[in-house]
Structure 1
Amino acid sequence: MLTSVMRGTTALVCLSLAVPVSAQDDPGFLGTLVLTGGKRDLTFGTALPRTVVGEEEIQDRQASTVAQVIDSVPGVTLVNGTTPQGSGINIRGFGANTTYGSDQKIAIQIDGASLGSEELYRIGTQLFTDPLLYKNVEVIRGTIGSFAYGSGIVGGVVKLETKNASDFTGGVPGFGGSQTFEYSSNGDGWVSSTNLAWMPVEGAEFLLNYSWREQGDLKAGDGTTIGNSSFETPSFLAKGKFTFGQDDAYSLTFSHSQTEADDKDVPYDQFQTTAGNFGRVDRLTDTKQTSLEYRFNPANDLIDLRANLSYADQKIDTDYIDGSSPFQGGMSVAAFCADPFFGVICADNRYETTKLTISNRALFDSGRVAHDMLAGVEGIRKDRLNAASAPGGTDRRFAVFMVDEMTIGQFTVTPALRYENSRIESAVPLAGVPDSYDSDALMGGLAVAYDFGNGLSVFGSGAYTEGLPLIDDLSASGTSQRRLAMTEKSHTFEVGAEYSGTGVFAPGDSLTMRGNLYQTKLWDITSYTVAGSTGTDLDGVTSEGIELEASYGLANGFYADLAGHLGEGTEYAPSGASATWRNSPADRVQLTLGKKWNDHLDLSWEVVHTTDKRDALGAGLPDSTVHNLRATWRPKHDWLTETEVRFGIENLLDEDYVSHLSSPSRKAPGRTFKVSLTKAF
């Protein structure tokens, strides 16, 4: 596999060198050049493996979860993704897995607020929210772009930005908004999303959004019902922004969003389709994010100051239904729920994360070197509710970080550093061992890029990070004490090339393409155990692959988008035995062909082929090829102005298959017709 990956990289570089080139400006590591050929604007001119899914693509995909929006990004896998409560995001083999919704190796932020829980068993609540609240979702893969966001990040960062009132008012005082209705045939799903925007005067704007999404049980390609796939989620967003001072140098932005689901008599295990051994529960899932950001950006290259104070609250209240689990046996509900092993089925979980990040971006020169420096400090406090089956406690962290893009002619050299220390304290006394633990780590990376000045550039990076102990590690057991005494370490190396140009094959066309090869190694493992073991940690994990993104567009409106990933991973036991890395992504290629008629009509055909798949138990799965059709129509007649109509057919051929890393019983949805109507006012 590695040989094929290397051949793929060589072919990509040769292809880039062979393409006719044209002049362009390269904004560098922190900046980006945006060219578009089709649905997705590819952002290049940066050493970061970064993909942005914009608002138009979010709407076109008509996805029911944010995870379904970004699973088209190379290296991203959606784990058990038919419901907001069960879906999880896996990037390059890290993040959500077949047991927990998170392994702390990807970071998720909404308007700067850090989301996510620790090890919630069989509940994939990494990102519980509605996609219609957001104007874009940014995915940064790997470690090199993570040092401003946290420690121990191996898979990457997912950043979500909520909508603004000015998006609906055109940036001028007045009222605006939109109403969206959507229907999907599979599961009889309904969506209503309302945006109300008001700018009373210049410099003040307010937005309210209320979205309601519900879906019944889905049908698979063979016509069978996919159990435990129904949901109902209301979501709410309130946002305000004030801009003031000379040259609008000051701004203050407030954002609050919330998504809730009140499920009755559902399987505890969100990854399975039936109650199984874990039984059934009544479950209330409530996630809130609040952020307040102050920005001072005067007409001074040395000052672009931001202070972001955020609070994220994720609460999962669970009431076990008596007698629904065979584990209960003859125990009373009270005794069953108090059991340190089985009590996970009854446990209430709550994570509250308060964070203050202060950063400044400065542009300056030192001799022949031009600097674009981002530096900041960060304080984080995470509180976890104590439960019979899971330790409660507090995790306090302080960090400083710096990213300095230095441009010397056609070279860009970018060192990045982060220092972080933490103190975790148990909410209850631990027998015979300390109740608190301190740890710290210095981590960083270096990215180097060379711009040939003709649209072609090459880049490489190396990054090292450490994962500090978690609240979930708090215990008197030997395994926990070992994990608390060390940090989990990893390094990632990447190399690649990119090309952006216009007038490449025909007048007025545009071509963007990027390929990068990555290799990641983890050691001093504290988050993964040997298969079949509960107390023996793996000795190491490696993950490597190649990612490709390309977009081509003609002046007549034809476009083609391509995204793909090819890779492999290996896990190593202390005994020296090795096996395929259980969470590694499948090999996948996605091709979209479409045609745009100005801004009126957009028709596209998407083909997704996935191979080298495995289910949640590690068994191999057959290859799958899924066809999706989409159409967006914007009529320009009288009262239909500012109206958008979208049609979609997902899984056109009714393919019967199980998605990569999903439970064997949880098949993917079969053919689904979708239609949505959006009216702006």
Structure 2
Amino acid sequence: MGQFAFGSRAAGYRRGALLSASLVFCTTWGAALAQSAITYSIPAGTLDSALTRFGVASGVQVLYDSSVTRGLRTSGVRGQLGSNAALARILAGTGLSYRFTGTNSVTIGDGSRPSASGTAAADGPGVLGPINVTAGGGGNPQDKPYETPGSSSHISAEQLNRLPPTTAGDVFVGTPGVISAGNHVGTSINPNIRGLQGMGRVTTTVDGARQGTSSYRGYIGNRDEVYVDPDMLGGVDISKGPSSGAGVGGIGGTISFRTLEAKDIVKEGHDYGLRLKTDIGSNTISPPAIGTAASDDRPAFLNGDAWSGSIVAATTQENIDFIAAYSKRQNGNYFAGTKVPYGVVFSTMPTQATAAPRPGSEVFNTSQDTSSILAKLTLRFGDDQSLELGFNRYDSTYGEINELNFQPWVPAGQVQHDLSQTKVDTYTAKYRYRPQDNPLVDFKANAWLTDLNADSGTIKANGFGGYGDLSAGGDVSNTSRFDTPLGALTWENGLEIVNENAKSSTLVSGTLYTSPAPIGVRTMESVYTKATLKPLDWVSLSAGARYDHYDSKGKDYLAAYPEHSGQRVSPNIGITLEPADGVQLYGLYTEGYRPPSLRESHWNYGWLLGINPDLQPELAKNTEFGVNVLKDSVFLPGDSLRFKAALFSNDYDNYIVRGPADNIINRYKWDNIAAAHYRGVELSASYDSGTYFVDGNITNYTTIEYCPTSNTCTPYASGLDYGGSYVPPTYAGSITAGFRAFDDALTVGARLQFASERSGGKIVTGGIAAPQTWPRYQIVDLFGSYDFGNDLKANVSVENLFDRYYIGALSSIGVAAPGRTFRASLVKTF
């Protein structure tokens, strides 16, 4: 045995009442053991922690090999139970079993040993030998970033429900190095990872399906548009930097949204599950008539103009899982905060103004009316194969602030416009084949299609029409595992193909054509391989490469422009050291290749911006060193400590910017500069004692610079480029702390989110936009929840507790974030 562990606007808006939050409890019952019942209060968490708490509460000695439980998580147990029933609930869903080897001792093993019923094995009492646990079997997603060499993050459903997002981009508050740029100019997400955003630099998927369209934003440039309903999310996984697997073109990183699955709704031991959720909020009012410029009064505490509701039903059978969900979300225009910090200037002078909406006033064009539908069917063919088919529809009518119409000194920009409309249909298919007796085969195949159509109200105000993107693609991969004379070897090989078909209306101005979005087709293909060798128990070496190829061409009037194509091989290497259990040191070097987006290669904006036939792809060269710590029972029995630190140096050759066109006055083109550099440090940590918990993160940039030539670099973007809107704050982060009481029925806590000014100061002289730097801020949010029992739970939150007037990090224009906002929700599960 490797180690013993001792466990222990009401007008026009309906008020919603429906649906959600799931409490997943395990109900595997075994042979009863005659003993007195004990009141248990063991929260969800790591399995090691839960077993420690069980041992302390029951007085039972729990014996197991620590390798068996590493990375596993439990839903916990609460109530008056015997130790046999309590232990069955703790282990349910982990794939592990138990057997009592005495009145006060129990041994934990894998499911292939003693039966999950808890009945003693025929071989009698004894101690388990070493047990090998296959990867991916029940690991805790929240722990994965602390077990992964490289920078990654996980956002759980629990975190999303704790402080419900005002906008979809709020899901990233609390995630180091990730910000949704222009978070309050519409309902879409435009993610920035460590200074990289736009033009597909960040790959964003929903259940593996890409969303890759972009919109024209006037002086601010362009915005990637990703649409997702937070009520449909089961979790979010984020990796930073070029991908060594699927994720072609995304040199900034990959954000993977996972929608709800049957396992999120159906309780352990049940065949069916139902979740109902309703939410209501304050600080909002139904949008007024088009052209309204006068702000209404800030509404009363709760006026019914902000609400959401969802219903989710699911079943899980022996060979079939099915889930269906519907969500509705409505809110009016929100109101800005009243406490204005020094540095925010309201003026009619272009060189002075930094913000537009006055303190406590209505922020026009921030409403939404969104409906979502989700359906998934999973078929299992024995224990080795599965096929999942999914459909997701996002349909929204919403207010949108287009920076082309908005400047702080232009009153006409601060009026209510026509609402925008966007519909996204997503289709996915996922096949898995992993025979348990063949370590050479772990096969995955994914196919997807995303159909996005948008009709922007502010775009229509400028004479433009609708636009959209039909994207399709897929990937196949296989991971083989070998035992070699040099050590255990894992080898992954894969192929990925992505096709984007951008569509847009066309306008004619004299002899020049203009379109609100690109009109063209781009195809990207990638073949990748990566091998990881473990010559020693505490050393892992990895090396790999990917071959990327692309081809893009225009359609309609843009077919006359040159076709673009290119290819490259990008290597990656890494080393990981584990000098002690739960401690990991790593070093990584990864290269990546981003072909010009269709917006950069096949979009013409009349006399203002033309196509550059010589535009080259961007090349990423990233180096990172870091440490991970994952420890349990550090200060108190059953507590958990997590820590992650990363030092990153990211270099991007041939970085694409907007610059002047050759010999054409007042016309621009996309062009390459020599390089851009982002360097900094990122820290994240969490501690949970069971009663108290705290977690925090910070990202600090030591260098952000742009280099027109290899010998000329500046700490700011070119005044003619849009990149000044992409530069993140010098530092940003958050701290969350709270406690649990009344047998964990009550949870109360607070979050502090903070950010400095944008790195590099104000936009360089000669820029075409207003200064894009606002004061630093610190915002306090409160949250709480109470479990009434019988699967009924209430959540409350107060965002921006002190009603601060602030402009969020990476805001594209001077639009204040929401002032003090109260929210409450009820969740009932069956």
TM (normalized to structure 1)?
0.84
In the alignment, what sits opposite 2:163? 61
Q: Find out whether 1:190 has 2:296 as its counterpart.
A: no
Which one has a larger percent strand, Structure 1 or Structure 2? Answer: 1
Distance change >3 Å, CA 217–CA 193, structure 1 → 2: same
Mapped to 2, the partners of 1:319 and 1:658 lie a distance apart of: 24
Return the alpha-carbon distance in structure 2 between the equivalents of residues 444 and 634 of structure 1. 50
Where structure 1 has 5 or more consecutive residues not aligned to the other structure, the ranges are 1-22, 96-101, 326-336, 338-345
The 1:489/1:460 distance shift into structure 2, 3 A limit, reads: same
How much has 1:171 moved relative to structure 2?
Answer: 5.5
User: Following TM superposition, by how much is the alpha carbon of 1:267 offset from its aligned partner in structure 2, in angstroms?
Assistant: 5.2
Distance 1:664 1:236 in 2: 32
Corresponding residue number in structure 2 for 1:106: 202
- The answer to whether residue 713 in structure 2 is matched with residue 595 in structure 1 is no
Which of 643, 652, 671 is matched with 2:801 structurally?
652
- Residue 511 of structure 1 aligns with an amino acid whose one-letter code is L
> Which residue matches 2:342?
none
Is the Cα–Cα contact under 8 Å of residues 200 and 224 in structure 2 kept in the other structure? no
More displaced stretch, 366-375 vs 26-35: 26-35
Aligned to 2:77: none
Q: Which amino acid aligns with 1:369?
A: G
C-alpha distance in 1 between matches for 2:818 and 2:458:
29
CA positional deviation for 1:663: 4.0
Following superposition, the deviation at residue 621 of structure 1 comes to: 2.0
Report what 1:499 is aligned to. 629
Q: Percent identity?
A: 22
Counterpart of 1:76 (choices 173, 178, 181) is 178
Deviates more, 1:424-433 or 1:626-635: 424-433
CA distance in 2, matches of 1:548, 1:577: 27
- Partner of residue 121, structure 1: 217
Alpha carbons 1:296, 1:306 under 8 Å: kept: yes
Cα distance change, pair 318–371 in 1 and its aligned pair in 2 (3 A): same
Residues 626 and 645 in structure 2, CA contact (< 8 A), matched pair in contact too: yes
Partners of 1:148 and 1:51 in 2: CA distance: 17
Higher mean alpha-carbon deviation, 227-236 vs 365-374, is at: 365-374
Which stretch shows the higher mean deviation, 525-534 or 473-482?
A: 525-534
**Which runs of 5 or more residues in structure 2 are unaligned?**
1-64, 72-132, 285-304, 339-359, 507-514, 718-723, 763-768
Alpha-carbon offset, residue 157 of structure 1: 0.7
Question: Shift of the alpha carbon at 1:561?
Answer: 0.5
Correspondence 1:396-415 to 2 at 5 A: 396-409=523-536, 410-415=538-543
Aligned to 1:366: 484
Q: Kindly indicate whether the alpha-carbon contact (under 8 Å) linking 2:365 and 2:398 is maintained by their aligned counterparts in 1.
A: no
> What are the within-5 Å matches in structure 2 for residues 388-399 of structure 1?
388=506, 389=515, 390-399=517-526
How far residue 529 of structure 1 moved from its aligned partner, in angstroms, is 4.1
Comparing 565-574 and 174-183, the one that deviates more: 565-574
CA contact (8 A) 1:396 1:423 kept: yes
Q: Which amino acid aligns with 1:523?
A: D
Distance 1:412 1:667, change over 3 A: same
2:137 maps to 1:43: no
Report if the CA contact (8 A) 1:182-1:675 is conserved.
yes
Are the aligned partners of 1:218 and 1:669 in contact in 2 as well (CA < 8 Å)?
yes
Tell me, yes or no, if structure 1 residue 418 matches structure 2 residue 585.
no
For residues 278 and 448 of structure 1, the distance between their equivalents in structure 2, rounded to whole angstroms, comes to 56
Q: Residues 268, 478 of structure 1: CA spacing in aligned structure 2 closer, same or farther, 3 A cutoff? A: closer
| Mapping for residues 290-301 of structure 1, pairs under 5 Å | 290-299=427-436, 300-301=438-439
> Which residue identity does 2:443 align to in structure 1?
L
- 2:540 maps to amino acid: T
Partner of 1:18: none
Is the Cα contact below 8 Å between 1:530 and 1:538 reproduced in 2?
no
- For 1:392 and 1:585, the matched residues in 2 are separated by 31
Cα distance in 2 between the residues matched to 1:627 and 1:271: 32
Equivalent of residue 307 in structure 1, options 445, 463, 473? 445
Aligned residue type for 1:197: A
Equivalenced residues, count: 616
| 1:487 counterpart residue number | 617
Cα distance change, pair 528–497 in 1 and its aligned pair in 2 (3 A)? farther
Which residues in structure 2 correspond to 1:572-651 (within 5 Å)?
A: 572-574=707-709, 576=712, 578-581=714-717, 582=724, 583-586=726-729, 587-597=731-741, 598-613=743-758, 617-636=770-789, 641-651=790-800
Deviation at 1:576, TM superposition (A): 3.0
Q: Which SS does the other structure have where 1:621 is aligned? A: coil
- Offset at residue 530 of structure 1 (A): 7.8
Which residue is 2:493 aligned to? 375
- Distance in structure 2 (CA, Å) of the matches to 1:462 and 1:310: 30
Instruction: Please tell me the residue identity of whatever aligns with 1:236.
Output: I
User: What do residues 161-197 of structure 1 show as CA deviations (whole Å, max 9, x unaligned)?
Assistant: 1111233223656332111100111213100011011
Change (3 A) 1:208 1:313: same
Q: What CA deviation, in whole Å up to 9, does each residue of 1:39-74 have, x standing for no partner? A: x65632221211111111111121144421123211
Distance 2:405 2:385 in 1: 46
After superposition, the C-alpha distances for 1:546-595 in whole angstroms (9 at most, x for unaligned) are 1111011224x111101111114111234936232532322123111111
SS in 2 for 1:68: helix
Counterpart amino acid of residue 129 in structure 1: V
Label 1:431 to 1:656 Cα distance change in 2 as closer, same or farther (>3 A). Answer: closer
For 1:627 and 1:277, locate their aligned partners in 2 and report how far apart those are by CA, in whole Å: 28
For the pair 1:244 / 2:360, whether they are aligned, the reply is no
Which residue does the alignment assign to 1:6? none
**Cα distance in 2 for residues equivalent to 1:491 and 1:312:** 30
- Given that residues 394 and 424 in structure 1 are in contact (C-alpha distance below 8 angstroms), is that contact kept between their aligned partners in structure 2? yes
Q: Secondary structure at the match of 2:366?
A: coil
The equivalent residue for 2:679 is: 544
Distance in 2 separating the partners of 1:500 and 1:431: 55
Three-state SS of the structure 1 residue aligned to 2:614 is helix
Residue 619 (structure 1) shift: 4.0
Distance 2:518 2:698 in 1: 40
Q: Report what 1:208 is aligned to.
A: 324
- Residue 233 of structure 2 is aligned to residue 134 of structure 1: yes
Distance in 2, matches of 1:527 and 1:659, equals 24
Once residues 573 and 694 of structure 2 are traced to their aligned partners in structure 1, the CA distance between those partners, rounded to angstroms, is: 33
3-state SS, counterpart of residue 385 of structure 1:
strand
Tell me the alpha carbon deviations over residues 88-120 of structure 1, each in whole angstroms, 9 at most, x when there is no partner: 21110112xxxxxx2211101111111121464
RCO comparison, higher one (Cα < 8 Å, 6+) = 1
Larger Rg: 2
Structure-2 separation of matches of 1:506 and 1:489: 48
Select which of 429, 437, 451 maps to 2:564. 437
- Whether 1:235 and 2:372 are equivalent positions in the alignment is yes
In structure 1, C-alpha distance between the alignment counterparts of 2:416 and 2:788, rounded to whole Å: 51
RMSD value over aligned CA atoms?
Answer: 3.1
SS of aligned partner of 2:565: strand
Which has the higher mean CA deviation after the structures are superposed, 164-173 or 446-455? 164-173
- AA matched with 1:605: A
Preserved CA contact (<8 Å) 1:84 1:129: no
1:382 offset after TM fit, Å? 1.2
The Cα offsets for residues 408-434 of structure 1, whole Å up to 9 and x where unpaired, read as: 211111223211212212113558754
> Which amino acid letter does the alignment assign opposite residue 493 of structure 1?
T
State which drifts further: 213-222 or 119-128: 119-128
- Describe the superposition over 1:590-619 as per-residue Cα deviations: whole angstroms up to 9, x where unpaired: 111111234412111111222133788444
User: Which letter maps to 1:445?
Assistant: N
Structure 1 residue 84 displacement after superposition: 4.9
| CA positional deviation for 1:444 | 2.6
- After superposition, the Cα gap between the structure-2 partners of 1:189 and 1:393, relative to the gap in structure 1 and judged at 3 Å, is same
| SS of corresponding position for 2:612 | helix
Whole-Å separation in 2 of the counterparts to 1:527 and 1:629: 41
- Cα 1:73–1:529 change in 2 (3 A) is farther
Of 665, 668, 676, the residue aligned with 2:817 is 668
Judged with a 3 Å threshold, the aligned counterparts in structure 2 of structure 1 residues 599 and 444 are, in CA distance, closer, same or farther, namely: farther
Q: What letter corresponds to residue 787 of structure 2 in structure 1?
A: R
1:205-243 deviations in Å (ceiling 9; x for gaps): 211111111111111111122222111111111111111
- Could you tell which deviates more after superposition, 521-530 or 348-357? 521-530
Tell me whether 57-66 or 184-193 shows the greater mean CA deviation. 57-66
The alpha-carbon distance between structure 1 residues 561 and 281, as it changes in their structure 2 partners (threshold 3 A), is same
Gap change, CA 1:431 and 1:680, over 3 Å in 2: closer
**Whole-angstrom CA distance in 1 between matches of 2:617 and 2:812:** 31
Q: Matched residues in 1 for 2:167 and 2:659: separation? A: 30
Q: Distance in 1 between matches of 2:655 and 2:166?
A: 35
